[in-house]
Chains A and B, each alone.
Chain A
Amino acid sequence: MNSKPKIGVYVCHCGINISKTVDVDELTAYAANRPYVRVARNYSYMCSDPGQLLIREDIKKHGLNRIVVASCSPRMHELTFRKTLAEAGLNPYYLEMANIREHCSWVHKGKKEATAKAKKLVSAALAKVRYLEPLYEKEVTVEPATLIIGAGIAGIQAALDIANAGFKVYLVEKTPSVGGRMSQLDKTFPTLDCSACILTPKMVDVASHPNIVLMAYSQVENISGYVGNFQVQVRKKARFVSVDKCTGCGNCAEECRLAGRIPSEFNMGIGNRSAIYLPFPQAVPAKYTIDPAECLFLTRGKCGKSPKCVEACPAGAIDFEQKDEIVEFKAGTIIVATGFDVFDAARKPEYGYSDYDNVLTGLEMERLISSSGPTGGKIVLGKGDGEYVPKDIAFIKCVGSRDKSTGNEYCSRVCCMYTAKLAHLVKDKIPEANVRIYYMDVRAFGKGFEEFYDRVRREGVRYIRGNPSEIFKRNGKLVIKVEDTLTSRPLEDEVDMVVLGVGLEPRKDAREIIDLLRLSQSTDGFYLEAHPKLAPVDTATEGVFLAGCSQGPKDIPDTVAQAKGAASSALVLLASGKVKVQAQISQVNEKTCRGCGYCIEICPYTAIDLVTVNKMGHQVSVAQVNEALCKGCGACSAGCLSGSIQQRSFRDNQILPQIAALGGKS
């Protein structure tokens, strides 16, 4: 294999793009004189079929084993010319390109200078191509199963698509039921579909689909491996209720000593539940769960004389001895669909969220309006005798969004529409209500959105342009201090209730997934996609995809579309059953490696491990590259003090000749 290099040099005219400024004949003559060059030609369009044919024929005729193409940027046609080499039976990695167009003929005017520079660039390419080595793209098999983390609408949709395609899905959900944020909504904009009505059929599907293994109330603890071969470890948390025996009758929750005393997470804290609970009536799986942080028996060891739930359960399903279960399985691809948290309105203290009971967030308002909520869908404030129906209701948009002071500069995308929807529902339930929405902009961009916004205004909801500065109480009413920017008048509007249009934020536990999967975050804290335009569901980690609001705020139609996109991307890998592994990856010279671990720490993809080998009778550590994980960045090679780990195609002994060629005075 180490025969003398026989180099073929091909200078492209690119029409007149190159030849107008670079003297291609002089360049070709120069190249022809360089060491080891057998053939040097120039041609009008090297990337065209006849151009490529020139190369292929020369390879056969002259036994060329290295090719230099001096033409456009390798980012344009490196793949093209690699295929040309492969078609001629030469390893495609014996190619080196000299960029004499984007970096030369297109940016320099003088023919003399441009040609001199082109000569330098070609000599550098010649210097490197001599030392290139044949590389082979390996293939690894893809396990025909997908792990989906999060079972909101995004996770559910992706799971159904993949399962329907015939592949196995492991759907892991942290909370006791699937459904996510969409199950907390009452009606959805702009169609006013009942959220639960359109969601629950999919929830049931996902629980009963033969290809879906649903693990609710479970958490992913560890993921190792690489695309096609992920090793996943999931902890199925103990519900302390036997899932086989529980019928979901609910007697236990009624009898629980703590009934109505624990703030319900599902109801965003404005309603209560028992220590043994079902998050919401349509929960799937419809199995009760005991909260280990609140249950008297679990925290104190005793619950009165005996736990009431045990007495009340006709199926004998309560099991305080139940333990967490760890399950392990393999997955070929992973979809992250972990969703969002809402902005904590307490971080805008000027709005009085922490001080006044009648200042609510949009999601709390959803629960209030929802017929499965704490008030059965009645919009009422206060308790018992003090209960009243608010008449003057205000919505404030952009709370915690587009706001440097809270650290969220981005727009949350859904608040304009959900405040319009909530305003409509308020008018629906309280026709005489006086509803106002304070806004900076109205973004009604989607299908049917503008029409809905129009309708809501025609129903009498007043839109006032101004960002309120403060909310305070005066004579029992909430006063909103705001400037109406369209009339330039300061206002002090008195209302009974304020709903804050809180924005969407990354989940507080977002870090867990980042640590599991080495994901990145964009500046707004949501998970980073591989490319904002062309790869919105991919991540930097191959085989790991994003769906839904974990990647950025979006509404239900966009979430479902993205979930389908993520499923499709996952299916590309699952259906082909194998995935090609990068060839220009790192390699360790075990003879000189001393196992210091520098490369292991540096590698952004944890693609290098320390293994023990036998060096002349001694057990020593050396580094070893996981070829499926290495992405070929080369940071390891630059950090290695002994030069033992090298990136193929960008080795020190391939780059140093380039430096030598370019360094000399021309």
Chain B
Amino acid sequence: MIDLEKLRDLARETISRDDVKYLIGWKPGTHGFRISPHFVSNPEETAELIFSPLCSNNLATYLTLTEKRPVPRGEQPDTRKVALMVKGCDSRAVLQQLTEQGITKDSVYVIGCPCEGVIDIKKVEGKYPGILDQVEARWENGKISLYLPSGKVEMARDDIVAEKCLTCRYPNPVIADVSLREEVEVKGNNTFDDVKKMEAKSTQEKWAFWQGKFNSCIRCYACRNVCPMCYCEECILDKTNPTWIQRSVNISENTSFQLARAFHLAGRCVECGECERVCPVNIPLSHLNRKLVKEVMDKFGFEPGVDPEAKPLLVGYRPNDKEDFIL
């Protein structure tokens, strides 16, 4: 049960701090099951903040897209902290950004929100289409309750949550300056069944599957924009000197783009699932990224975004890294 009053009190307290410039949380979106990120700059605006099974957005992506507007002469940049509300998976993104020096510890104030699973909006909008009024959802008694205009509906957690929540090992934030509520039970494990299923297919089957998916890609770059780990000022794939990938939208360039992004996430992807959520043509991006999450775990025993002392994966090596693939 989320105590919204407690949440808003905490937010008010946080935004009133001298060292916080604004707070990022969630608020009800435009309609139905939608949620909007909420940028709070003063205590009054905290009234709209919520935390519920609908809050799938990973707000950590905003930390690195912080304003880098040119600072007018004579002014100093505002270096106060950004207060950020994070679920478990989001907090891993924050920690990974810290370890790879994308942000500094003194630039963020983390409000940890232990999470029991977020709704897969595609599943629930498929079941209850066309709802215009804002819907409420709550974690209640180990289930998820939807407060629709037609009445309350209780759903089993596993039926309605995003796929990432089924394998979630970090429902409780791994980094937090303050916590919204007590820790919750870990419900997932990582046997990577989904990845293994794809691995078991033949080469031709895999190629046909992924080419089918990549063919739909419209290169909208929503996945890159939403990903908390994609924050290079100039993406290497946008460069024209050299031209790694052409901008034309065809299966060849799309495949290169997807492979490049997946590889650049090796040892960095924290499985927040946002890429898959926002893809307008339903490419199973999280599924693709989890392949390397599995390899990184199996081969190097490494999990990004859980150990504040860890160095990024690809800046190190072990003298006894496996080389069975080398002639």
Give the B-binding residues of A (Cβ under 8 A). Answer: 591-592, 594-598, 601-602, 615-619, 621, 639, 641-643, 651-653, 656-657
Contact = CB atoms under 8 A, between A and B. Distances in A.
B239 interface: yes
Contacts of A597: 100-101, 315
B247 to A, nearest CB: 16
B234 A595 contact: no
A642 B75 contact: no
Given A601-B316, A641-B264, A616 B100 contact: no
Nearest to A598: B315
Contacts of B102: 594, 596
Contacts of B232: 592, 594, 641-642
B77 A618 contact: yes
A601 B312 CA distance: 9
A596 B101 contact: yes
Interface in B239-282: 239, 241-244, 264
User: Could you say which of A594, A619, A621, A652 has the most chain B C-beta atoms within 10 Å of its C-beta?
Assistant: A594
B239 A643 contact: yes
Given A597-B101, A601-B315, A617 B77 contact: yes
B208 interface: no
B18 interface: no
B301 to A, nearest CB: 18
A616 B316 contact: no
A617 B75 contact: yes
A598 B75 contact: no
- What 6 pairs between A and B have smallest CB-CB spacing? A617-B71, A601-B315, A653-B242, A616-B70, A642-B232, A643-B236
A657 B314 CA distance: 26
A591 B231 CA distance: 14
A634 B145 CA distance: 55
Contacts of A594: 102, 231-233
A602 B242 contact: no
A662 to B, nearest CB: 15
User: Could you say which of A591, A619, A621, A641 has the most chain B C-beta atoms within 10 Å of its C-beta?
Assistant: A641
A616 B233 contact: no
Nearest to B236: A643
A641 B101 CA distance: 13
B1 interface: no
A598 B100 contact: yes
B234 A642 contact: yes
Contacts of A652: 242, 244
Given A592-B232, A594-B233, A617 B72 contact: yes
10 contacts: A595-B101, A596-B100, A597-B101, A601-B316, A615-B68, A616-B68, A617-B75, A618-B68, A641-B232, A642-B236
B235 A642 contact: yes
Contacts of B75: 617
B201 interface: no
A200 to B, nearest CB: 44
B311 interface: yes
A164 to B, nearest CB: 43
A639 B314 contact: yes
Contacts of B72: 617
A642 B244 CA distance: 12
Nearest to A653: B242
Contact of A656 (B70, B73, B101, B244): B244
User: Could you say which of B68, B235, B264, B315 has the most chain A C-beta atoms within 10 Å of its C-beta?
Assistant: B315
B250 to A, nearest CB: 17
B100 A592 contact: no
Contacts of B315: 597-598, 601-602, 639
A377 to B, nearest CB: 48
A619 B77 CA distance: 9
B80 to A, nearest CB: 14
Contacts of A651: 242
A53 B76 CA distance: 61
Contacts of A643: 236, 239
Nearest to A641: B264
Given A597-B100, A598-B314, A641-B236, 20 more contacts: A592-B232, A597-B315, A598-B100, A601-B311, A601-B312, A601-B315, A602-B315, A616-B69, A616-B70, A617-B70, A617-B71, A617-B77, A618-B71, A641-B232, A642-B232, A642-B233, A642-B234, A642-B235, A643-B236, A657-B242
B96 to A, nearest CB: 11
A639 to B, nearest CB: 6
A482 B311 CA distance: 54
A414 B306 CA distance: 53
A601 B99 CA distance: 12
A244 B236 CA distance: 65
Contacts of A653: 241-242
Contacts of A595: 101
Given A592-B232, A618-B77, A643-B236, A598 B312 contact: yes
Contacts of A639: 314-315
Nearest to B74: A617
A464 to B, nearest CB: 41
Interface string B60-98: 000000001111110101000000000000000000000
Contacts of A642: 232-236
B233 A592 contact: yes
A36 B239 CA distance: 24
Interface in B203-243: 231-236, 239, 241-243
Nearest to A131: B242
B71 A616 contact: yes
Nearest to B70: A616
Contacts of B68: 615-616, 618
Contacts of A596: 100-102, 312
Contacts of B314: 598, 639
B311 to A, nearest CB: 6
Contacts of A619: 77
Nearest to B241: A653
Contacts of A601: 311-312, 315-316
Nearest to A618: B77
A407 to B, nearest CB: 16
A652 B314 CA distance: 19
Nearest to A621: B101
Interface in B270-316: 311-312, 314-316
Contacts of B233: 591-592, 594, 642
